[in-house]
Chains A and B, each alone.
Chain A
Amino acid sequence: MKRTLQPRDALGGVSLVALTVLLYTAGGSVSLLFGLTAALAWLFGPPLFAFVLGQAGVAAFAPSMSLPTFILVELAVVLLLFGDVAIDSPIHNWSRAVLLGGIVAITTAVVLTVQSSLLAAGAVCLGAFGVLIYAVDRYEQSNRLNSELNTHG
């Protein structure tokens, strides 16, 4: 899909600037590379790649950040990823509950297991999201099948 700059991209732009500046203040010119490559990825691809690069930069330079800087840079990274979801495709009703409930449950599980094993925490995270995404897919399929049966029946 061709990407064209829209007014909604202002949120992403602000997030990118904040991310780049904050990373620079924390890690200097090397960390600036993360911000710039994230900006390029954001301009020419989906926000997913910019998020991954930004989060990797945060993980690399977090030890040299103060807590307020860390919170701000994490906020910038999250806004980078979910800015268009919030503006263009707002999640409605029970879908929002599923999404928020799922994220809270999975994040809690990750936080609880991360103390004992990072490997287990990663596995829990991937497994939980896998199950949730698959469950939603199955639900949608059965729902559509019922709808088609009602239409043609």
Chain B
Amino acid sequence: MEPTRRFWTAVALAVAGAALAPLLSNPLLLGIPIGVGTWILAHELQFMRSIRRIQSADPAVVTQSVMNTGVHDGTNPSLRVQFSDTVNETAKLDASIDVTVPSTLLTDTVTPRHVPDNGTVNFDVSLQLPVAGSFEIPTPELHITSAHGLFDETIQAGNACSFIVDPASLRGGTRRQDDALDSMSSFAPGNVREYAPGDPMNRIDWKATARLGELHVREPDPESIRETHLFVDQREPMREGPPGRTKLDYAREIGLAITGQAANNEDPLQVSFVDHGQVFDSQSVTAGEAAYEHVRRRLYDLASDSYDQSSTTDFRTGKPLRFGRNAAHKAGTLADDDDVYSRTLAPYFETMTAYSAELTSEELLKSVRASLHARDGDPWFVIVTDDSNRQEVRVTTELVADYGIELTVFVLPTIRFVDGNAPKPIDEDTTSREFQAFLDTLNAIPGITAFEAGPGKPLPDNPSQPRRSVAQ
């Protein structure tokens, strides 16, 4: 309960009355502080009772629910807020209701809605969901001012809302993501036949080609069952981007779409979450609705805002991994000393630091390599990562190609996720061209299909030239 300016005005009048009484030798002026004090106290007690009644009202005076959710198909959902003063308290108060929707989900600024004297107000707030995922809208807030404006109070009233939005498909992202969807059917394995002019390059079965000595393509066969190995990069660079629209948020959407496709085809699915300090964190290759649901929940939990940059944790143990930093710290400390002990141990710790740096930049490669060794049959590999470590991505794709396994790579361009406060790239055109050149490099590797993923239109290959689709 916060006192307002009106409250302090009343207090000032009471003090004035108490001060004038001895000055004018008039005891009746003490009636002013007594009256004002009683008046404030009466309203305070009354306000307290009103707050209690509003908070304990059954049914609750405020309810909120999210409409039109379920599938992320471009339709904006809305939050419906309904206020009904069932305890008849707001008529003597000044009340307004304010939704507490995270700003990233709002299309417009939402101002508090005043509750009219009849105590009923309903309104809708338009929401935008840039990506599929799990969302929570906290309990609305009710701002109340007591009668005659003596006190203010903000209370939580009503219910919180949580809802899940599944990706309808990869549509709604960039054109290259759409291309990915269109060519999804071609990923399904099937019969192998000789290559004919006009066949898409990504249907070439390189293993069969190598075995038979001539180009062969694979005909899609929806009845076949094929393992899907999904690798979702969740290392620190994937946290870049505005809240709610980080690379990780888009990676989650792609991961959910891939999971949905695997579930539709009843394909066994393995998901590896690639993180700092952990080389391999994976679900086993499983099929069945429970397994798909488990993967979906894990993908929904890819929360970028809970990431603590001060410590990296091992997903399996939950314990922080400080090896690299400790080694670096000790190496630095020993470098400052000049005794025999330091000279002997310093090279050891410097080696450990280098090893640590190498480890933290190769988790994706190590994770993919482990899956390659554990694969069964002719799986489909999908990697969702960004371009912050292009060398690692390129080496990883080459490794998969060496095994003759079909691989789809979704690359989130860092230039798309530059923070508004961060310095912009000096030459965005050059950066875009470099990214396209990187994608082209990946697509040139046999069996590899690379897509640009993320928000907005695809980055232009060359701003002065028409765009070219990567997926052929």
Chains A and B are bound partners: yes
* Contact B1 A137, beta carbon cutoff 8 Å: yes
Q: Is B395 interfacial (CB-CB < 8 Å)?
A: no
Which residues of A sit under 8 angstroms from B52, Cβ to Cβ? 143
User: Which residues of B are found within 8 Å of A117, using beta-carbon distances?
Assistant: 22
**Which residue of chain A has its CB nearest to the CB of B46?**
A89
A52 engages B13 (CB within 8 Å): yes
0/1 interface trace, chain A 121-153, chain B, CB 8 Å (1 if under): 111011011001100110011011001100000
Distance A7 CA – B147 CA, assembled complex (angstroms): 17
**Are A48 and B1 neighbours in the complex by a CB distance under 8 Å?**
no
Which of B6, B13, B42, B52 is most buried by chain A, counting CB atoms within 10 A of its CB?
Answer: B42
Q: Across the interface, which residues of A come within 8 angstroms of B43, CB to CB?
A: 85, 89
Which of A48, A89, A110 is within 8 Å of B13, CB to CB?
A48
Contact assessment for A48 and B46 in the assembled complex, using a CB-CB cutoff below 8 Å: no
- Interface membership of A21, Cβ < 8 A: no
Q: Inside 8 A of A52's CB, which chain B residues have their CB?
A: 13, 17, 32, 35-36
Would B30 and A125 count as touching, CB distance under 8 A? yes
Which of A12-20, A23-31, A32-40, A96-104 forms contacts with chain B? A96-104
Give the interface centre of A60, A62, A126 by most chain B CB atoms within 10 Å: A126
A56 contacts across to B, CB distance below 8 A: 17, 29, 32
Closest residue of chain B to A86 (Cβ to Cβ) is B42
The answer to whether A144 and B51 touch (CB under 8 A), given A121-B30, A133-B40, is yes
Instruction: With both chains docked as a complex, state the minimum distance between the C-beta of B136 and any C-beta of chain A, in angstroms.
Output: 14
**A-B CB pair tally, cutoff 8 Å:** 146
A48 vs B9: C-alpha distance in the bound complex, in angstroms? 10
Contact A136 B45 (CB under 8 A): yes
- B235-251: CB near A (< 8 Å → 1, else 0) gives 00000000000000000
List of A residues within 8 angstroms of B15 by Cβ: 126
CB–CB B30/A114 < 8 A: yes
Q: When the two chains form their complex, are residues A88 and B41 in contact, meaning their CB atoms are under 8 A apart? A: no
Interface status of A1 (Cβ within 8 A of chain B): yes
The reply to whether A59 and B42 contact each other, CB–CB distance below 8 Å, is no
Q: How large is the interface on B (under 10, 10 to 19, 20 to 34, 35 or more residues)?
A: 35 or more
**B27 contacts chain A at the CB level, 8 A cutoff:** yes
Selected from A85, A95, A110, A136, the residue in CB contact (under 8 A) with B39 is A85
CB contact list, B1-53 vs A, under 8 A: 1, 6, 10, 13-15, 17-19, 21-22, 24-46, 48-49, 51-52
B39 near A123 with CB under 8 A, answer no
Given A48-B10, A122-B19, A140-B51, A91:B33 Cβ within 8 A: no
Q: Mark B136-152, 1 if CB is under 8 A from A, else 0.
A: 00000000010111000
- Name A84's contact: one of B37, B41, B56, B147 (CB within 8 Å): B147
The residues in A between 75 and 94 inclusive whose CB is less than 8 angstroms from any CB of B are 77-78, 81-82, 84-85, 88-89, 91-92
A125 to B21, CA, bound (A): 12
Cβ B28 vs Cβ A48 within 8 A: no
Cβ of B209 within 8 Å of any chain A Cβ, yes or no, is no
Q: Hey, which chain A residues are within 8 Å of B149, CB to CB? A: 1, 46
- Which of B17, B45, B51, B55 has the most chain A CB within a 10 Å cutoff? B45
Cα A137 to Cα B35 in complex, Å, equals 19
Q: Across the interface, do A129 and B35 meet the contact criterion of CB distance under 8 Å? A: no
Question: Does A82 contact B22, Cβ atoms closer than 8 Å?
Answer: no
Among A91, A98, A129, the one with the most B-chain Cβ atoms within 10 Å of its Cβ is: A129
For B32, the chain A residues whose CB sits under 8 A away are 51-52, 55-56
Check if A88 sits within 8 Å of B28, measured CB to CB: no
Which chain A positions have C-beta within 8 A of B31? 55, 58-59, 74, 77
> In A55-73, which residues have CB < 8 Å from any B CB?
55-56, 58-60, 62
Q: Give the Cβ gap from A79 to chain B, nearest Cβ, in Å.
A: 11
19 A-B contacts (beta carbon < 8 Å): A1-B94, A48-B13, A52-B13, A52-B17, A55-B32, A56-B17, A56-B32, A60-B26, A82-B39, A82-B42, A89-B46, A91-B45, A91-B46, A99-B38, A123-B18, A125-B33, A125-B34, A137-B44, A144-B55
B residues adjacent to A (C-beta < 8 A): 1, 6, 10, 13-15, 17-19, 21-22, 24-46, 48-49, 51-52, 55-56, 92, 94, 145, 147-149, 155-156
7 closest A-B pairs (Cβ-Cβ)?
A: A122-B18, A129-B37, A59-B28, A118-B22, A95-B45, A46-B148, A119-B22
